[in-house]
Amino acid sequence: MRALFLATALFVATAAQAQYVSQQPGEAQFRALFKEMVETDTSVTTGSCTAAAEKLAVRFKAAGFGDSDITQFSVPEFPKDGGIVVHLKGSDPKVKPMLLLGHLDVVAAKPEDWTRSPFKLIEEDGYFYGRGTFDDKAQASIWADLLIRMKAGKAPKRTIKLALTCGEETTYAFNGADWLAKNRPELIMAEFALNEGGGGRNGPDGKPQGLAVQVGEKTVQNFWIEATNPGGHSSVPRPDNAITDLTAAVVAVNRHEFPVQFTDTTRTYFTTLAKVMPNPVGPAMARLLTNPNDAEANRIVSMDPTNHSVLRTTCVTTLLEAGHAENALAQRARANVNCRMFPGTDPGALKADLEKIIANAKVNVSLKPPIRPVAKPTPMNPTIIGPMTSVAARHFPGVPMLAMMSTGATDAIYITPIGIPVYGAPGTMIDADGNGIHGLNERISVRSLMQGRDYLSDLVMVLANPK
pLDDT tens digits for 297-350?
999 999 999 999 999 999 999 999 999 999 999 999 999 999 999 999 999 999
Phi then psi dihedrals of residue 233, to 5 deg: -75, 140
pLDDT band at 373 (very low <50, low <70, confident <90, very high): confident
Last residue of a domain, one of 341, 368, 395: 368
- Domain membership of residue 274 (yes or no) is no
Same domain, 243 and 319: yes
Same domain, 178 and 227: no
Average of per-residue pLDDT values in the chain: 94
pLDDT score recorded for residue 207 = 79
Same domain, 102 and 249: no
Contact of 46 with 236, CB cutoff 8 Å: no
Contact of 253 with 225, CB cutoff 8 Å: yes
Same domain, 353 and 455: no
Q: Is the pLDDT of residue 3 over 50?
A: no
Contact of 103 with 164, CB cutoff 8 Å: yes
Phi then psi dihedrals of residue 3, to 5 deg: -125, 100
Q: Where are the beta strands (DSSP E) in 239-323?
A: 314-322
Quote the DSSP letter at residue 43. Answer: B
The CB density around residue 120, as the number of other CB atoms within 10 Å, is 14
Lowest mean pLDDT segment, chosen from 84-88, 202-206, 272-276, 398-402: 202-206
pLDDT tens digits for 41-58?
999 999 999 999 999 999
pLDDT score recorded for residue 154 = 96
Q: Indicate the number of domains in the chain.
A: 2
The pTM assigned to this predicted structure is: 0.90
CA atoms of 241 and 229, how far apart (whole Å): 7
Same domain, 175 and 227: no
pLDDT score recorded for residue 1 = 54
pLDDT band at 21 (very low <50, low <70, confident <90, very high): confident
Same domain, 248 and 353: yes
Q: Is the pLDDT of residue 14 over 60?
A: no
- In b/e form, how buried is each residue of 410-444, taking b as 16+ CB within 10 angstroms? bbbbbbbeeebbbbbbbbbbbbbeebbbbeebbbb
pLDDT band at 203 (very low <50, low <70, confident <90, very high): confident
- Domain membership of residue 385 (yes or no) is yes
- Using DSSP bridges, classify how beta strands 199-202 and 429-430 pair: parallel, antiparallel or unpaired: parallel
pLDDT tens digits for 117-174?
999 999 999 999 999 999 999 999 999 999 999 999 999 999 999 999 999 999 888 9
| Host domain of residue 342 | 219-258+313-368
CA atoms of 354 and 255, how far apart (whole Å): 12
Q: Is the pLDDT of residue 70 over 90?
A: yes
Can you say whether the dihedral through the CA atoms of 394, 395, 398, 401 is positive or negative? negative
- In b/e form, how buried is each residue of 371-391, taking b as 16+ CB within 10 angstroms? ebebbbbbbbeeebbebbbeb
Report the CATH number at residue 242.
3.30.70.360
For residues 385-398, give the mean pLDDT.
Answer: 96
pLDDT score recorded for residue 408 = 82
- Domain membership of residue 22 (yes or no) is no
Q: Is the pLDDT of residue 8 over 60?
A: no
